[in-house]
Amino acid sequence: MILILVGAPGGGKGTQAEQLKTKYGIAHISTGDMLRANVKEGTELGKEANEYMQKGELVPDDLIIRMIEARIQVDDCGNGFLLDGFPRSLPQAEALDAMLEKQSLELDAVVNLKVDEEELVRRLLGRGRADDNEETIRNRLKVFNEQTSPVLGYYSKQDKVKDIDGMGSIDDVYDRVIKALSE
Ligand code: AMP
């Protein structure tokens, strides 16, 4: 099973990803988590990524694409994987398609978690991560609307998108996702 989770920051991607990982026995690949680990360890990648992350901008595509290309080769991806926070731009989506094709793998579905903007800001402000201040949040939402939304159009053309109402309790949202994936 190969899944992509798309949703604005604060939309509950990480929480749903953890549950889906357990249910399907697949690897959970969060580019945000991988980047934060690199920042913490002070790697070259982390140093380069950090300035973009602090501003709520996207880290350059080539860095992210290389990071994902290496990650999906790791053994724990043998049963499939769930991409959380990737692809976030059209070039990333196109690069992923090329990688999957090269390995004769097929994307099963793109889960689009939809949460309204007021709720997103409320959730993000309550989370307290380093890049969760109001100015960065506003920019992350803008970047999402401008750069990540086209990714959904790209996958709609492939008929892969499952739109999920992301409002309500974690369990309710999870049930909706599972139902959509079993259809
Ligand atoms: P997240 O934890 O998914 O909200 O990601 C936190 C930050 O990491 C984002 O605001 C971006 O700066 C960066 N980031 C994460 N994933 C990507 C990606 N696929 N492409 C570019 N930047 C990313």
Ligand 1 atom nearest 89 alpha carbon: 20
Q: Over pLDDT 70: what percentage of the chain?
A: 100
User: What contacts 156, CB < 8 A, 6 or more positions away?
Assistant: none
Q: Is the pLDDT of residue 167 over 80?
A: yes
pLDDT at 128 over 80: no
Q: At what angle do helices 61-71 and 44-55 cross, to 10 degrees?
A: 120
User: Whole-number mean pLDDT of the chain?
Assistant: 94
Q: Most distant CA pair in the chain: distance in Å?
A: 44
pLDDT tens for each residue of 72-111:
999 999 999 999 999 999 999 999 999 999 999 999 999 9
Better-predicted residue by pLDDT, 23 or 148: 23
pLDDT for the residue numbered 145: 87
By the 8 A CB rule, do 4 and 155 touch?
A: yes
67 pLDDT exceeds 90?
yes
Q: What pLDDT is recorded for position 94?
A: 97
Residue whose entry in the numeric block shows the structure tokens 């140093």: 47
Neighbour count for residue 173 (Cβ, 10 Å): 21
Q: For residue 9, is the peptide bond before it cis, meaning its omega torsion is within 30 degrees of 0? A: no
List helix spans (H) across the chain: 13-24, 31-41, 44-55, 61-71, 90-102, 117-125, 134-143, 149-157, 170-182
Distance in angstroms (rounded) separating the CA atoms of residues 26 and 77: 6
User: Residues for the chain: how many in total?
Assistant: 183
With a 6 Å cutoff on the Cβ, whether 64 touches ligand 1 is: yes
Please say if the pLDDT value at position 20 is more than 80: yes
Q: Quick check: CB of 10 below 6 Å from ligand 1?
A: no
148 DSSP 8-state letter? I
Q: What is the predicted pLDDT for the residue at 54?
A: 93
126 or 71, which is more confident: 71
C-beta 59 within 6 A of ligand 1: yes
Residues belonging to the active site: 13, 88, 127, 129, 140
Residue 154 Cβ contacting ligand 1 at under 6 Å: no
Q: What atom of ligand 1 comes closest to residue 56's alpha carbon? A: 10
Give the model confidence (pLDDT) of 24-51 as tens digits. Answer: 999 999 999 999 999 999 999 999 999 9
Q: Are the C-beta atoms of 65 and 54 separated by less than 8 Å? A: no
